[in-house]
A = this chain, B = another copy of it.
Amino acid sequence: MIAAGATSVGIIASKDPRFDQESGSPPMEPFQGPHQGGIASDQQAYALFLACDLAKSGKEHLRELLDVWSAVAAEITAGNPPPQPAGLTPGFSADTDVGAGLDPARLTVTFGLGPGVFGDGMGLDSQRPKHLRPLPEFLGDTLNPAWSDGDVLVQICADDAQVVSHAFRALRARMPGLARMRWTQYGFLSRPAAGGTPRNLLGHKDGTVNPRPGTAEFNRSVWVDSVDEPAWFHGGSYLVFRKIRMKTADWDQLPLAEQDRIIGRQRADGAPLGGVDEFDAVDLQARASDGEPVIPKNAHIRLVHGFAMLRRSYNYDYGTLIANAGGTPDPVPVPPHVHASDTPAHAHGGHSQLDTGLLFAAYMNDPPAQFIAAQRALANDPLNGLIQHTGSAIFAMPSGCAKGEPIAKVLTD
């Protein structure tokens, strides 16, 4: 296993095909390679995050799932129909034609393993990534278990929502008997016509200080290569996922200058307060003529300054879809003696009307020192009154795979 790990890491520095592309936007993203696609890849416009639980314990069942899913992903990311399942009755079609005629639109399918994969009965205890434990509870969390956790994650991204839907359908057709759907989340992220940093639903540019793929900072903060981590996980990354609802109606009623002071940047152009350009260095020492810091003491960018990680988040806007869903879901049923209007806010997922915000998705190699420390540093962030964390999960995203091999082969061999 050490040899395989070392080979994988060796390739990273020398010939990752995605780093050879100056243009940065190939129409197709390779499924095979030293790293999984969908991490260092330029962010696509649409995403689906799908979490599921394994139907049966034992690493052989995980292997079976990753075998069939890797085979499907390898074909559909290349613009081909999914492979015929073994034993398919003649006359049945392995594809749905939902994506027929559409470009692959830079489709990526990225797999992750949750803490449960290394739990009882799996036979993988000794292979658990060092930091793959459920995240601690943070101040103000209003998490809904229906939108949290999961044994296996699939991140599906493409520049076309129908391509994403088609990929989802192809993958879930292989789940029965192997995995049960746990939650899905859909997002979008549009890049300005002139290029540059996309905006979140607070209207702010989001991702200005992201490490750039191929740089030393990116390799240092995103890819796992520590000797403290199991060899199979080298070349992988941790994904921290948080469903963050934004109280946009409250936000929109703040004066622009107050919004800017909460973030520490100008909404219009993304420049840090006191600067003139989006990419100006953040000067945390600068003081105004009244002696107050130009970037306020509790400004969001001050509080998280220095915590490097790759944020690859998506905006979501479900409107009243969830408020109007109807029915009581299995995981958080309303007890029979409680009247609907008396149910606690978290039974509504933290909100009872509009649901819009950020599917925060961040890749890193040391969650305690990166996400967890940053999130604790945000304890007094005035933004906390304007957002709600309603879902939470962490996954170990294995390294990439070679042609004809499944994701996490070394782990499940």
User: Chain A interface (Cβ within 8 Å of chain B)?
Assistant: 45-46, 48, 50, 89, 91-93, 95-98, 100-103, 144, 146-147, 160-163, 165, 168-169, 172-173, 181-186, 188-190, 192-194, 196, 198-199, 201, 203-204, 248-249, 252-253, 255-257, 267-268, 315, 317-334, 336-341, 343, 347-349, 352-354, 356
Query: Which residues of chain B have C-beta atoms less than 8 A from A91's C-beta?
Result: 255-257
Closest 7 CB pairs of A and B: A184-B319, A101-B192, A97-B203, A327-B348, A162-B190, A325-B325, A91-B255
Closest CB-CB distance, A384 to chain B, in whole Å? 20
B46–A146 touching, CB < 8 Å: no
CB distance from A152 to the nearest CB of B (A): 15
What is the copy number of this chain in the assembly? Answer: 2
A329→B329 contact, CB < 8 A: no
Q: How far is the CB of A133 from chain B (nearest CB, A)?
A: 24
Find out whether the CB atom of A340 lies under 8 angstroms from the CB atom of B333. Answer: yes
CB-contact partner of A334 in B253, B268, B340, under 8 A: B340
Q: Are B337 and A349 in contact (CB under 8 A)?
A: no
Q: B325 touching A322 by the CB < 8 A rule?
A: yes
Would you call B332 and A326 a contact (CB within 8 A)?
yes
| CA A134 to CA B352, docked complex, whole Å | 28
| Chain B residue at minimum C-beta to C-beta distance from A176 | B249
Q: Across the interface, do B165 and A98 meet the contact criterion of CB distance under 8 Å?
A: no
> Given A319-B48, A319-B50: A326 and B348 within 8 A (CB)?
yes
Q: Judging by beta carbons under 8 Å apart, are A336 and B337 in contact?
A: yes
Knowing A165-B317, A189-B162, A199-B97, say if A324 contacts B146 (CB, 8 Å). yes
Instruction: Say which residue of B188, B325, B326 sits within 8 Å of A162 (CB atoms).
Output: B188
**By the criterion CB–CB under 8 Å, are B193 and A102 in contact?**
yes
For the complex, give the distance between the alpha carbons of A27 and B102 in Å. 21
Q: Is the pair B194, A101 in contact by a Cβ cutoff of 8 Å?
A: yes
Distance between A344 CB and nearest chain B CB, rounded to angstroms = 10
Assess whether A181 is in contact with B320, with CB atoms less than 8 Å apart. yes
Q: Give the one of A169, A183, A194, A354 with max B CB within 10 A.
A: A169
Asked if A320 meets B183 with Cβ closer than 8 Å, knowing A203-B96, A326-B329, A349-B325, the reply is yes
Please, which residues of chain B bring their CB within 8 A of the CB of A352? 327, 330
On whether the beta carbons of A199 and B100 are closer than 8 Å, the reply is yes
Check A327 against B347 for contact (C-beta < 8 Å). Answer: yes
Do the beta carbons of B186 and A101 come within 8 Å of each other?
A: no
Q: Which residue of B lies closest to A184 (CB)?
A: B319
Tell whether A203 pairs with B98 under 8 Å between CB atoms, given A328-B328, A332-B326. yes
For residue A165, which residues in chain B have a CB less than 8 angstroms away from its CB? Answer: 188, 201, 315, 317, 356
B268 adjacent to A97 (CB under 8 Å)? yes
A324 touches B328 (CB 8 A): no
Please determine whether A161 and B173 come into contact, CB atoms closer than 8 angstroms: no
Closest to A327 in B: B348
A325 touches B329 (CB 8 A): yes
CA A193 to CA B102, docked complex, whole Å: 5
In Å, the complex CA distance between A293 and B198 comes to 55
Q: Please report the C-alpha to C-alpha distance between residue A172 and residue B201 in the assembled complex, in whole angstroms.
A: 14
Subset of 8 A-B contacts with CB under 8 Å: A45-B160, A89-B255, A102-B193, A161-B161, A165-B317, A324-B329, A324-B331, A325-B329
Cross-chain contact A161 with B190 (CB below 8 angstroms) = yes
Chain B residue numbers with a CB within 8 Å of A353 are 181
Q: What distance in Å separates the Cβ of A159 from its nearest Cβ neighbour in chain B?
A: 10
Contacts of A327 in B (CB 8 A): 323, 328, 332, 334, 343, 347-349, 352
Question: Which among B255, B257, B318 is the interface contact of A321 at CB below 8 angstroms?
Answer: B318
- CB of B255 within 8 A of CB of A92, answer yes
